[in-house]
Amino acid sequence: MVTVVLFLGLAVALINPSVAGVADNRIDRFSSQNDGSCELPDALLAEIRGYQPIVNKIIDKIVNGEFAGRTWDGLAELVDTFGARVAGGEQLEKAIDYAVQKMQADGLENVHTENATVPHWVRGYESAELVKPLRKSLPLLGLGSSIGTPRGGIIAEVLAVESFKEFEAIPAEQVRGKIVVFSPAWESYGRTVVYRSQGASVASRKGAVAALVRSVTPFSIGSPHTGQQHYQDDVKKIPVACITVEDAQMLLRKYRRGERMEIHLEMEDRPMEPVVSRNTIGELVGTTFTNTSVVVVSGHLDSWDVGVGAMDDGGGALISWKALAYLKAMGLRPRRTIRAILWTGEEEGLYGGAAYKEAHKAQEAKEFNFFFESDIGTFEPRGLDFVGNADAECIFREIVKLMSPLNATEFETPTDGGPDISHWTTRGFPGASLLNKNEKYFWFHHSAGDTMAVEDPKNLDKCVALWAAAAYVVADLSVSMPKDIHP
């Protein structure tokens, strides 16, 4: 149960959201219930509801007006020009330079970059072929941080299992010297991705010479998917890659029929020294609170090195940047600053967010009001996924209701789609992630299928409209979003 603390002065101010100069941090508590039911003060409720006309205007201008289609065009130009933007690579840095220049041209303020050290891992020539009992090419993608094979590759017998549990029961002497194939059934990304992230370590512990993992997707048209993996500290590093769903299933069937199989695996992949990349930042400076209580809207600009990262996460980056551009062009400037951050080095482990957190740590409690992140697709928006305390939740539930013109009023909690902002949201800062109709997200994720073909112009318009409208309201409210920061 959260206590009610409402100052009369504020309650009055709440009635008219256009009142400027309200002391932003005078309160951070008011009525709400832990069971999700809320008892917002009438004045605050009225204030939030009072934003409906401006929300409607923002949505209409972006979806039906002069901005319609521009976000898709902008994203297409970005990914067509620079292609994949992997951390440590030249294309990412060129894309950052381009984003800085284009953000300035779009009228964003205080456009700059902030350094972040990111891993640098390079995919070289990669090839896997089943050579016994028949020859069959096995399309593969080495996993981020994987070492390569010796030159010329390795040829080893195959041991295929469906699960870690099945693998546990196999004695090490049967594993030693073999290539272990993990062919887990898809359950969910969270449950299945452990085979990608841990497969090499699990296999290496029993003496395997390499691990090949079913791509982490529920559906495939013969495409392998990449992603990050982590060697546990005390295991010998072995090469690890994802193969297609189809080939993983085939190898498991053949193994279970008792067939003796050999694979020739060659990977020139190699980890390099970390390099300095940059988070890219632009703002719409607030009318009242210019250096405190910032509302962050964000997505990551880096991608994997396959496909072009239009979905993961070009879309998230673009809607964050374009939300500010369109608000500015519409002459809308909220009380608080809205800051677009295009993270770098997300794919390898949230490095951009981590660097930003460290650099802003001293003043973070004052500096940040709310964090938005879009990194689970920009398909048709459904609403917003929230994380934060019960008070903030009560306010945010009302804000989401304003998105009715987009038919995007779904509210979920807790968020699961904000990896970079988790640097803050796991410590009590409130935040939200874009809920969207992303049922097919993992079909394309980290694969050659992550391209503009996934993105729909109208849906992108709707996403940026929701993003702009929600960020505007949060940034303009007379109250800051409540938070309970913990270390």
Q: Point out the residues that are catalytic.
A: 346
Q: Is 169 in the site for a copy of itself (CB under 8 A)?
A: no
Stretch binding a copy of itself (CB under 8 A), from 112-120, 163-171, 249-257, 313-321:
249-257
Report the nearest approach of a copy of itself to the CB of residue 440 (Å).
9
Q: How far apart are CA 15 and CA 323, in angstroms?
A: 27
Touching a copy of itself, residues 89-108 (CB under 8 A)? 91
Phi and psi based region of residue 450 (left: phi greater than 0; alpha: psi -120 to 50; beta: remaining): beta
Q: Is 82 in the site for a copy of itself (CB under 8 A)?
A: yes
Q: How far apart are CA 111 and CA 282, in angstroms?
A: 4
Q: Are 222 and 139 in contact (CB under 8 A)?
A: yes
Closer to a copy of itself by CB, 10 or 267: give it. 267
Q: Is 244 in the site for a copy of itself (CB under 8 A)?
A: yes
Q: Which of 257, 273, 486, 487 binds a copy of itself (CB under 8 A)?
A: 257
Q: How far apart are CA 409 and CA 427, in angstroms?
A: 26
Site string for a copy of itself, 116-135 (x = CB under 8 A): -----------------xxx
Burial pattern 197-227, b for ≥16 Cβ within 10 A else e, equals bbbbbbbbebbbbbbbbbbbbbebeebbbbb
Q: Which of 199, 307, 314, 430 binds a copy of itself (CB under 8 A)?
A: 307
Q: How far apart are CA 429 and CA 392, in angstroms?
A: 10
Q: Is 245 in the site for a copy of itself (CB under 8 A)?
A: yes
Q: Which of 88, 139, 316, 430 binds a copy of itself (CB under 8 A)?
A: 139
Stretch binding a copy of itself (CB under 8 A), from 98-106, 301-309, 418-426, 465-473:
301-309
Closer to a copy of itself by CB, 245 or 319: give it. 245
Closer to a copy of itself by CB, 248 or 479: give it. 248
Report the nearest approach of a copy of itself to the CB of residue 254 (Å).
5
Stretch binding a copy of itself (CB under 8 A), from 4-12, 167-175, 238-246, 426-434:
238-246
Stretch binding a copy of itself (CB under 8 A), from 41-49, 74-82, 340-348, 369-377:
74-82
Q: Is 136 in the site for a copy of itself (CB under 8 A)?
A: yes
Q: Is 254 in the site for a copy of itself (CB under 8 A)?
A: yes
Q: Are 403 and 466 in contact (CB under 8 A)?
A: yes
Q: How far apart are CA 346 and CA 230, in angstroms?
A: 15
Q: In angstroms, what CA-CA distances link 444 with 110, 145, 171, 293, 351? A: 34, 21, 36, 36, 23
90-105 helix and 315-329 helix, angle to the nearest 10 degrees: 10
Q: Is 246 in the site for a copy of itself (CB under 8 A)?
A: yes
Site string for a copy of itself, 426-455 (x = CB under 8 A): -----------------xx--xxxxxxx--
Stretch binding a copy of itself (CB under 8 A), from 60-68, 248-256, 419-427, 458-466:
248-256
DSSP string covering 52-75: HHHHHHHHHHHHHSTTTTHHHHHH
Strands, sheet with 338-343, edge to edge from the N-terminal-most edge strand: 109-122, 270-284, 338-343, 294-300, 368-373, 431-436, 381-387, 410-412
Report the nearest approach of a copy of itself to the CB of residue 152 (Å).
18
Helix (H) or strand (E) holding 9: helix 8-15
Query: How many angstroms separate the first and last alpha carbons of the chain?
Result: 22
Q: How far apart are CA 35 and CA 25, in angstroms?
A: 26
Strands, sheet with 210-214, edge to edge from the N-terminal-most edge strand: 136-137, 126-132, 262-267, 154-161, 179-182, 210-214, 240-243, 140-142
Closer to a copy of itself by CB, 411 or 444: give it. 444
Q: Which of 13, 308, 327, 402 binds a copy of itself (CB under 8 A)?
A: 308
Q: Is 221 in the site for a copy of itself (CB under 8 A)?
A: yes
Can you give the binding site for a copy of itself, defined by CB under 8 A? 76-77, 80-84, 91, 133-136, 139, 220-223, 244-246, 249-250, 253-254, 257, 306-308, 443-444, 447-453
